[in-house]
A and B are shown apart, each in its own frame.
Chain A
Amino acid sequence: MSTAAGKRVKIKAQKRLGELMREHFVDLDAAAGDPSRKVAWCTSVGPCEILTAMGFEVYFPENHGALLGARRVSHELIPRAVGIGYGAESCSYMTSDIGSTLAGVSPLQEAFGIAGPPTPEVLVYNTNQCREVQDWWGFYGRRDGAPVMGICPPTHVGEVTAEHVSFVRGELERLVGSIEERFGTKLDLDRLREVVALSSQASALWRRVLDTARAHPAAMTFFDGVIHMAPVILMRGSHKAIEYYEALLAELNERVTEGVGAVPDERFRIYWEGMPIWPKVRELAEKFYDLRTVVAASTYCNSWAFEEFDGGDPLEWMARTSTEIFINRDEETKQKFLVEMLDGFGIDGAIFHNARTCPNNTNSRFGMAQRIREESKLPVLVIDGDLSDLRFFSTAQTMTNIEAFVEQLAEYRR
């Protein structure tokens, strides 16, 4: 009964994305079995550029956490991690990933025909997003006897000052020193500059991809974004990511020129604040599609849209981007960013996802949703859920909440 009119257009670049992912993971698997190559694990927000420049193949465990969620197996694996002392309400990326290791299963086996996550020789974290990553890496460090090292930028930062950047740059220098000492290799600053330039280029293209949703109708949705962001995380610092986003951007720009929307007959535009609900991404995408409502922008997908590198000190760029990401900022800075996004993308209402196991990437627990409602004069909805653990999610309740929200948007427009 409630199906959208108009023709749905698939993103053609998705086929290439599938090939890229396969190539990436097969190569990573080969690296793990090749004594002449080294594998490092790293947090998704870096500092992977250092590792790439020092010749490591980089694996991102958060991607594995998201895959476990998307495959709807997290709730079966989390109890295994809980059984060895990890809290059921701590990061479900972490508990499902550790659970998958304990169970000896991984979606990488079925998806790419590889053994599973590669064994790390070093695990590098950045606590700019959360401290949980440090503890998560710690599990594998103890298991594999591999060193766990990283940086801890200042958190709840308002204006990013030279002192902040200098402090984090110092941390990065110490990290480089530790890796050099452990592996007997030197970081080539020119090589790092090259990797950072590639990383920044991919990131800038990614931002332009996301900006195609500023068009009315939006050329892409948040649900497209969470799929197509894979290269900017897994392959940044490589030409592959740049080539991919050039092709994707061209395709989406063509949509904008021709007035083709990701959601045909688009009626409303929504902002998504917080983590995706990975096991329900498809279902939610369908629900919004049926309601002819586009989730045009999100904080999450913007997490990898860094400022551009000017060709100067690569460590300073890394220090600055590590410090100034949204998740690491104070409430005032976050609020300013959100209001600008709501305005810039022509948003009709915002949905805040209260991810029960991810307090750091949840912004509805300290009155932000209410403040955004007051400042933007737009309807705001908070929904309960989680990034991976379906035990915190009620489909019927959430879908009713979303439908009612769209009904509310219709009332606002009358």
Chain B
Amino acid sequence: MSAPLFVGIDVGSSATKCVVLNDTRALVGHHVVTSGFDYVEAAETALQHSLLQAEGVKKDVAYCVSTGYGRERVAWADGHVTEITCHARGAKEWYPEVRGIIDIGGQDTKVIRLSEEGRMVDYRMNAKCAAGTGTFLESTAHKLGLSLGELDGLAMESKAHAVVNSYCTVFAGTEVIERIKEGQRLDDIAMGLFRSIASRVAEMLAVRDGALAATGGVAAHCGALIRALEEVLETQVWLPPMPQHAGAYGAALLAAETNVAERSSARHVADR
């Protein structure tokens, strides 16, 4: 019999991420696919690719925890935990001393605070709109005829301090057009968009009492976001080795931490 594997699968609104750990909790497989409209298929694809990398098969999976907005759609998961807890768990594994985690995903932004002992003491999620999320950036980039990567590349060239005041995706689009009309440089406007997100995060991060890390897809792909966060928060923001996989990694760690007896009876991993 093969050594047991532990799987974390994060079915997000934009991307589905999978992480596989072996019985020593070493990360042996991972994959990311676009979630699209079929979360079930996305989860299955991400799992199969991750298992291939881990040189395992589905029956080797001892326990699987799903997370993300589509967490309840993963029928083969043994338990599900919110992405808030999973991002906190993943980031804490990479940085045991981290006290604040900024997760900027496609659909929402979460700010999580940990105690000195690593316990989740508080978290905040953005209100019901795209303000400060990956969707905000994608939509605005699209309006400018750019990809998110191109928007990031442009922003990194910015030398001036431009600010986009609007959090609202629609109003930000209008504001960007106004700035272009005023003759502002596009790279400065692009950086202003990242600053807008960072300002939103600053509002949510009311208490700053320790090291910060950024996770999620936007942090993974946009250096300009980290730059904006560090500028607005006036502190260094750590970027873990696999920011986009932080939730899946946390879920896989929680799967590995579930003991054998609980594995057979658990309804929800948080029941522990």
List residues of A whose CB falls within 8 A of some B CB: 1-5, 267, 290-292, 370, 373, 379, 384, 392-394, 396-397, 400-401, 403-404, 406-408, 410-412, 414
Q: Which residue of A lies closest to B67 (CB)?
A: A400
Interface centre among A373, A379, A393, A397 (most CB of B within 10 A): A397
Q: Kindly supply a per-residue 1/0 record for chain B positions 83-102, scoring 1 wherever the CB is within 8 Å of any chain A CB and 0 otherwise.
A: 11100000000000000000
Q: Report how far A392 CA is from B119 CA in the complex, Å.
A: 31
B123 with A408: CB separation less than 8 A? yes
- Using Cβ atoms and an 8 Å threshold, which residues of chain A touch B125? 397, 400-401
Q: Report how far A250 CA is from B125 CA in the complex, Å.
A: 42
B272 with A410: CB separation less than 8 A? yes
B85 → chain A closest CB, angstroms: 5
Q: Which of A1, A396, A401, A411 contacts B69 (CB 8 A)?
A: A396
A1 with B123: CB separation less than 8 A? no
Q: Kindly supply a per-residue 1/0 record for chain B positions 127-146, scoring 1 wherever the CB is within 8 Å of any chain A CB and 0 otherwise.
A: 11000000000000000000
List residues of B whose CB falls within 8 A of some A CB: 69, 72, 77-85, 107-108, 119-123, 125, 127-128, 206, 267-268, 270-272
B120 with A407: CB separation less than 8 A? yes
A393 with B267: CB separation less than 8 A? no
Task: Evaluate whether A2 and B119 lie within 8 angstroms (CB atoms) in the complex, with A400-B125, A401-B125 already known.
Answer: no
Closest 8 CB pairs of A and B: A404-B84, A404-B82, A2-B268, A394-B128, A407-B270, A407-B85, A403-B82, A384-B127
B80 with A2: CB separation less than 8 A? yes
A397 with B84: CB separation less than 8 A? no
Task: Evaluate whether A408 and B267 lie within 8 angstroms (CB atoms) in the complex, with A2-B80, A400-B125 already known.
Answer: no
Task: Evaluate whether A392 and B128 lie within 8 angstroms (CB atoms) in the complex, with A1-B267, A2-B267, A3-B267 already known.
Answer: yes
B82 with A407: CB separation less than 8 A? yes
Can you name 21 A-B pairs with beta carbons within 8 Å? A1-B77, A1-B80, A1-B268, A3-B267, A290-B268, A370-B206, A379-B121, A384-B127, A394-B128, A396-B69, A400-B84, A400-B125, A404-B82, A404-B85, A407-B81, A407-B84, A407-B120, A408-B120, A410-B270, A411-B85, A411-B120
Q: Report how far A384 CA is from B72 CA in the complex, Å.
A: 22
Q: Report how far A411 CA is from B121 CA in the complex, Å.
A: 9
- Using Cβ atoms and an 8 Å threshold, which residues of chain A touch B128? 384, 392-394, 397
B268 with A291: CB separation less than 8 A? yes
B86 → chain A closest CB, angstroms: 9
- Using Cβ atoms and an 8 Å threshold, which residues of chain B touch A408? 85, 120-121, 123
Q: Which of B121, B123, B268 contacts A404 (CB 8 A)?
A: B123
Q: Report how far A379 CA is from B84 CA in the complex, Å.
A: 15
A380 → chain B closest CB, angstroms: 8
Q: Which residue of A lies closest to B78 (CB)?
A: A1
A132 → chain B closest CB, angstroms: 22
